[in-house]
Chain A
Amino acid sequence: MPSDYVYHSNFWLEEPEESNPFAAKACYCHGYDVYGQIIARAGWFEYLLLMFKGDRPEPAHVVLLEKLALVLANAGPKEASIRAAMNGGVAGTNHSSALMAALAVGSGLYGGSQELEICMRLWQECGQDVEKWKTRLQSPEEDERADIWPAMEHPPGFDPNGDQIPTTLLQSLELLVQFSPESGALAWLSRNRSDLEEFFGCPISISAVAAATLVDLGLDKDQGSMLYLMLRLPGAAVHALEQRKMGWKKFPFYSPAIELEDDPGPYKKAGEEE
């Protein structure tokens, strides 16, 4: 007797064992036998793109995604999502808690997946029209209503606290361009970067580079956002583990740095003398 409650999927099929309807004998992803063929024959990034896009990717896309994954794998402890994971790790928290912290803090409008989503949305709107980009980057909101996400405070894809593009990001961009289509988003970004940076008075950030790469991979903003969140987790994990071993005594505790402007001082009961 099957259940009254069913889930629907356009890409995932499971066939049950004859002896147990809850155990799968075979699973198919977009029609391909996962355990019979994909795992044996595909690479990790090929499978990822198949899952997200629905068809076997062309080899150039597989390489480009792998290069992006390498670029994103570890942004280092300065980056907010990794720092969040380290705050979990150092206190001996659950590993999943550390990664949840990384995902939450890595979701923001300043350097996070929400900024990347906006960049990818603007790619749909502006394409390769640099003047359009200059206009939309100044007011990227869809409309004037308040939302659970606050308004952007800087042009999405740019670092308002930066001066010039950091060498590491420039290396990443130049490398990714080599694996991207000639007339694609990355190539356009690379050609127009200086003009845009001069216009906004600050350099592009990793969000712009990742967004252009994901556009070149033919992904939409939701797919791009999910991949961006996932691909930045390795660094968060390893830094969290490292701090767990390093111990809390070596980890910053900012209490002395916090200055209370209006400290009332120790509490005195009514009538109590100074």
Chain B
Amino acid sequence: MNHERLYETESQLVTRIGKAFLTERVVMHGKDLHHELDHLEWLHLYLFAILGRDPGKNVANMLNCYWVGSSYPDPSIWPNHVAALAGSVRTTPSLGMMAGLSISEASIYGRRPEVRALDFFYRAGKWCEEGGKVEEFVDNEKALGRILFGYGRPLAKTDERIAFTLDKAKEYGFSDGRHLKIAFEVFEHVNSVYGYSMNVAAIHAALAADMGFSCEEYQLLLSPGFVTGMAPCFKDAKARPEGSFFPIRCESIVYHGVGKRNWED
């Protein structure tokens, strides 16, 4: 009977992630939070919590750059726009920021391109390992009608975060990884054949592949990534008169639908 397996976990959860022994101590992946992990920066601890191991300071510093490099206090960016709207209508910070974060899991920016790009580099790496040429791999993907996430950018031709990220990769010892090399080979190919530019999602994902994150780990790591840009957007909109954040007049909703018709009973 299928349902019988539910009995096992109805009142029991056996785990190794840790536990809060409230009033006493907290264990995370076998370490005492307040005595053995207290020296870690918050983001480094977040990495440890997700991975279940400490990947070292250089990885933490590299990941920190992803966050710093995408912290744009600009409410024109759609997730930030949501946070600003939340401030403008006077809802709470948590609601505003969580709403903004939830729409960061988008298809044209944020989580989906990041996950798809990481998966792309792992598959491209395997293809090359097996003796294939990266150009062939890219052309096969294109022939299947697939978007090459990380190449081309919806709103701009260049990405100001690339140089910043590459400088940091050099500083923390990640500038010679094989996936990063593949990222540039892909760029040269798609640039010459399709005229595509490269955006930071490709660089981030290639470096993430070199650091060895799984797609799920990468998604979890980056999930709160835009929050630092959202907080000032929320606060700024909240400080302005209520409802004054880019208000919309009736005529700014441009109608393309059917003509007026009568509701016959």
Contacts and interface: CB of A to CB of B under 8 A. Distances in A.
A143 B119 CA distance: 12
Interface in A249-274: 254-255, 257-264, 266-267, 269
A30 B116 contact: no
A146 B3 contact: no
B30 interface: yes
Contact of A257 (B6, B11, B219, B250): B11
A42 B253 contact: no
B82 to A, nearest CB: 13
Which of B2, B99, B111 has the most A CB atoms < 10 Å from its CB?
A: B2
Interface in A136-187: 143, 145-148, 150, 159-163
A163 B4 CA distance: 9
B250 A14 contact: yes
B265 interface: yes
B13 A258 contact: yes
Contact of A150 (B25, B92, B216, B262): B216
A148 B111 contact: yes
Interface string A10-50: 11111110000111100010111100011001100000000
Contact of B13 (A201, A259, A266): A259
Contact of A21 (B3, B25, B251): B251
Interface stretch (A1-9, A68-76, A118-126, A231-239): A1-9
B77 to A, nearest CB: 15
Summarize B's interface: helix, strand, loop or mixed.
Answer: mixed
Interface residues of A, number: 60
Contact of B16 (A22, A28, A260): A260
Nearest to A145: B119
Given A42-B263, A96-B95, A145 B116 contact: yes
B254 A9 contact: yes
B51 interface: no
B252 A3 contact: yes
B32 interface: yes
Contacts of B39: none
B7 to A, nearest CB: 11
A2 B98 contact: no
Given A42-B263, A147-B112, A161 B3 contact: yes
Given A100-B98, A148-B111, A259-B15, A162 B216 contact: no
A262 B13 contact: no
B135 interface: no
Contact of B265 (A6, A41, A255): A41
B249 A16 contact: yes
Contacts of A11: 257
A255 B22 contact: yes
Contacts of B118: 146
A261 B263 contact: no
A13 B253 contact: yes
A237 B185 CA distance: 53
Contacts of A163: 1-3
Interface string B31-58: 1101110000000000000000000000
Contacts of B94: 94, 97
A110 B7 CA distance: 18
Nearest to A144: B123
B95 A97 contact: yes
Nearest to B123: A145
Contacts of B111: 148
Contacts of A97: 94-95, 98
A22 B115 contact: no
Contacts of A31: 257-261
30 contacts: A3-B249, A3-B252, A5-B252, A7-B253, A9-B254, A9-B256, A10-B257, A13-B257, A22-B247, A28-B260, A31-B257, A32-B261, A37-B262, A96-B95, A100-B102, A104-B102, A145-B116, A145-B120, A146-B116, A201-B2, A255-B20, A258-B13, A259-B13, A259-B14, A259-B15, A261-B14, A262-B30, A266-B25, A266-B32, A267-B36
Given A21-B249, A258-B19, A261-B15, 12 more contacts: A8-B254, A10-B255, A14-B253, A21-B250, A31-B260, A96-B91, A161-B2, A161-B3, A161-B5, A261-B16, A262-B16, A263-B19
Interface of A: 2-3, 5-16, 21-24, 28, 30-33, 37-38, 41-42, 54, 56, 94, 96-97, 100, 104, 143, 145-148, 150, 159-163, 201-202, 254-255, 257-264, 266-267, 269
| Chain A to chain B: the 9 pairs with minimum beta-carbon distance, closest first | A146-B119, A16-B250, A267-B32, A14-B250, A37-B263, A13-B255, A146-B215, A21-B249, A31-B261
